[in-house]
Amino acid sequence: MRTVLEQMGGESVVSDVVTRFYEKALSEPRLAGYFHGTNIHLLREHQTRLFAGVLRGEPAPVGQEGAGTPDPGIHYDEYGLVIGYLADALRESAVPETVLSETLFAVAPLARDVITVPAVAR
């Protein structure tokens, strides 16, 4: 059985998806502040390796590689933007819808590691 990474087309497609994702996230005012002072080139490389590993079926590493300060996490509402931009980046990288769904399902467990502020009750 092929991994989601293989179905997607390999690490070069993941790299393209990650690049497109960060272009979107950095242009979004509600997300851009999370990246202030971050070396985006290194972040893209790290996220590409992390994303490829998860799509190969490897467990996500615990903690952050080379982190000097704790990650403040992200708000639940902003995480919705992240997933939307990820889906858009997957589509723009010509990932088929069936693989797109499997990809989003594969990364869903990572939400608990990055969401630190719950949704606001409305």
To which CATH superfamily is domain 4-117 assigned?
Globins (1.10.490.10)
Out of 29-43, 53-67, 99-113, give the one with best mean pLDDT: 29-43
Q: What is the DSSP letter of 116?
A: E
Per-residue confidence band for 114, with pLDDT thresholds at 50, 70 and 90: confident
Q: Is 121 exposed, middle or buried (0-12, 13-18, 19+ CB in 10 A)?
A: exposed
Percentage of the chain lying above the pLDDT 90 cut: 61
Average pLDDT of the chain is: 86
Least confident of 27-36, 73-82, 89-98: 73-82
> Is 46 annotated in some ligand binding site?
yes
State the pLDDT at residue 75: 85
Q: Integer distance in angstroms from the first to the last C-alpha of the chain?
A: 44
Position 67 pLDDT exceeds 80: no
Domain residue spans in the chain? 4-117
State the pLDDT at residue 66: 41
